[in-house]
């Protein structure tokens, strides 16, 4: 009894049914004291894939819609919290459960059950919501997260591969410098010393002189080789100096329009290798009379282009050079574009982000099991 004297009114099952049937879109399910379906509204019939309530009325509730788990294993009534709460006459709310449709497929639902008198005995009224849309949205988000994590892993591994290759190049150049090159320098010094003595016969002098010439050319060749592997000038003096040195050795006149600005080492290296490959291609294939290397800097990117006025027709997919560069740039989140129509020259354009790519969100952080990543791959 309330203090204002008004009596808390008990709603009859009929009244509740009527109200909910009229209000309509919320699926309603009434179960009598024997766990038999006493009433279902149209929304419930539709949600569970039946054609009419006749197919459901009088059937055992749990065994009709709740008899298996989503993985197909049986779900006995004794294990069901709804059944237990119903028997104890307690209300129960389940945020996520799965019921079985007429065709055996599963529908994700949230359920709210309250005790209610039905035909003179205690039964249960259940309202439920079809969660299909939110479950699908959740799965979509998860797929997206997995895909993002996978792409992040791929990018990170590509970056690691490029970094490892660069480190190997650096080591190789150091070894060449400290090993073969310094050995040759010692030979040159020894030969110079040998020639300094006054009593060297003319024939020997000629032979030693030739050997000296050969050793000096070998040093030049080694230096050239080391430069191609990992250009010291780049690390020392930057991209503009590196490109200018390259242009000086090029087979056609090259206009260099590159700012004297320093960038992070991976950016300089990538830009340098693009210029080197593109200028080598100009010499090998373009039949050009001139080429131009240009850089521009946007807020976020270094853009390097190499143009020539040759025969055109370059295709990145036709060889290894440009494709390898595209991979190197991709490791930095950059891009390589080749525009080359026959007869209209070639333009190779690299866009390189100035900041190193953010570390990828690890799959572990996203709570995504590795096999999900594989499945989506």
Ligand X SMILES: Nc1ncnc2c1ncn2[C@@H]1O[C@H](COP(=O)(O)OP(=O)(O)O)[C@@H](O)[C@H]1O
Binding site for Mg ion (CB under 5 A): 281, 321
**Residue 250 is a binding residue for ligand X (CB under 6 A):** no
Closest CA to 273 of 331, 217, 221: 331
Count CB-CB contacts under 10 A for residue 325: 22
Specify the stretch interacting with ligand X by CB under 6 A; choose among 131-139, 185-193, 216-224, 317-325.
Answer: 317-325
**Residue 43 is a binding residue for ligand X (CB under 6 A):** no
**Least distance to Mg ion from the beta carbon of 229, Å?**
16
Supply 337's token pair: 């574009």
**Least distance to Mg ion from the beta carbon of 281, Å?**
4
Q: Which entry of Mg ion, ligand X, none binds 32, CB below 5 to 8 A by partner kind?
A: none
**Least distance to Mg ion from the beta carbon of 309, Å?**
18
**Residue 32 is a binding residue for ligand X (CB under 6 A):** no
Burial class (CB within 10 angstroms; exposed 0-12, middle 13-18, buried 19+) of 5: exposed
Q: Which entry of ligand X, Mg ion, none binds 310, CB below 5 to 8 A by partner kind?
A: ligand X
Q: Restricting to residues 333-362, which ones interact with ligand X according to CB under 6 A?
A: 346
**Least distance to ligand X from the beta carbon of 189, Å?**
39
Among 7, 9, 320, 371, binds ligand X (CB under 6 A): 320
Measured from the CB atom, the residue of 281 and 294 that comes closer to Mg ion is 281
**Residue 313 is a binding residue for ligand X (CB under 6 A):** yes
Measured from the CB atom, the residue of 106 and 316 that comes closer to ligand X is 316
**Residue 307 is a binding residue for ligand X (CB under 6 A):** no
Specify the stretch interacting with ligand X by CB under 6 A; choose among 96-104, 204-212, 256-264, 315-323.
Answer: 315-323
Closest CA to 278 of 240, 304, 317: 304
Burial class (CB within 10 angstroms; exposed 0-12, middle 13-18, buried 19+) of 299: exposed
Alpha helices in the chain (DSSP H): 13-23, 42-47, 61-65, 81-88, 132-176, 182-196, 202-229, 232-237, 239-248, 265-281, 321-330, 370-376
**Residue 35 is a binding residue for ligand X (CB under 6 A):** no
Q: Which entry of ligand X, Mg ion, none binds 17, CB below 5 to 8 A by partner kind?
A: none
Specify the stretch interacting with ligand X by CB under 6 A; choose among 26-34, 134-142, 241-249, 281-289.
Answer: 281-289
Measured from the CB atom, the residue of 107 and 246 that comes closer to ligand X is 246
Please give the helix or strand (H or E) that residue 297 lies within, else none.
strand 291-297
**Least distance to ligand X from the beta carbon of 140, Å?**
39
Handedness of CA 212, 213, 219, 225 (dihedral sign): negative
Supply 220's token pair: 């030049």
**Least distance to Mg ion from the beta carbon of 263, Å?**
24
> Roughly how many angstroms between the first and final C-alpha of the chain, as a whole number?
65
Closest CA to 158 of 356, 332, 321: 332
**Least distance to ligand X from the beta carbon of 348, Å?**
7
- Is residue 188 a contact partner of residue 230, using CB atoms and an 8 Å limit? no
Burial class (CB within 10 angstroms; exposed 0-12, middle 13-18, buried 19+) of 309: middle
Measured from the CB atom, the residue of 33 and 319 that comes closer to ligand X is 319
**Residue 322 is a binding residue for ligand X (CB under 6 A):** yes
d(CA 373, CA 377): 6
**Least distance to ligand X from the beta carbon of 362, Å?**
34
Query: Residue 56: how many CA atoms within 13 Å on its side-chain side?
Result: 28
- Is residue 248 a contact partner of residue 260, using CB atoms and an 8 Å limit? no
Interface ranges with ligand X (CB under 6 A): 277, 281-282, 285-286, 308, 310-316, 318-323, 346
């Amino acid at each position: 009894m309330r203090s204002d004297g008004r009596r808390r009114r008990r709603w009859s099952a009929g009244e509740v049914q009527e109200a909910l049937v009229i209000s309509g879109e919320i699926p309603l399910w009434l179960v009598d004291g024997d766990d038999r379906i006493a009433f279902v509204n149209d929304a419930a019939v539709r949600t569970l894939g039946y054609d009419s309530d006749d197919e459901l009325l009088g059937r055992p509730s749990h065994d009709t819609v709740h008899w298996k788990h989503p993985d197909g294993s049986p779900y006995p009534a004794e294990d069901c919290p709804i059944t237990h709460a119903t028997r104890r006459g307690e209300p129960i709310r389940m945020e996520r459960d799965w019921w079985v449709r007429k065709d055996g497929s599963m529908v994700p639902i949230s359920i709210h059950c309250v005790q209610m008198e039905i035909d003179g005995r205690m039964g249960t009224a259940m309202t439920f919501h079809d969660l299909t849309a939110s479950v699908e949205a959740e799965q979509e988000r998860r797929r997206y997260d997995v895909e993002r994590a996978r792409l992040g892993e791929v990018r990170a591994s590509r970056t690691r591969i490029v970094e490892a290759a660069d480190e190997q190049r650096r080591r190789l150049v150091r070894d060449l410098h400290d090993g073969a090159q310094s050995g040759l320098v010692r030979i040159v010094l020894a030969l110079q010393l040998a020639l300094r003595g006054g009593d060297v016969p003319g024939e020997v002098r000629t032979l030693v002189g030739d050997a000296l010439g050969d050793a000096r050319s070998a040093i030049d060749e080694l230096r050239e080789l080391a430069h191609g592997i990992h250009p010291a000038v780049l690390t020392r003096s930057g991209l503009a100096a590196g490109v200018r040195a390259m242009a000086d050795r090029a087979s056609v006149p090259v206009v260099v329009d590159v700012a004297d600005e320093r960038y992070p080492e991976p950016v300089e290296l990538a830009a340098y290798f693009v210029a080197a490959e593109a200028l080598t291609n100009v010499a090998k294939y373009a039949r050009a009379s001139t080429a131009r290397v240009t850089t521009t800097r946007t807020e976020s990117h270094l853009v390097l282009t190499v143009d020539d006025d040759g025969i055109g027709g370059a295709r990145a997919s036709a060889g290894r050079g440009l494709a390898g560069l595209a991979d190197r740039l991709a490791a930095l989140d950059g891009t390589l574009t080749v525009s080359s129509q026959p007869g209209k020259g070639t333009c190779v354009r690299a866009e390189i982000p100035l900041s190193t790519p953010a570390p990828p969100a690890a799959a572990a952080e996203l709570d995504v099991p590795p096999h999900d990543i594989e499945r989506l791959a």
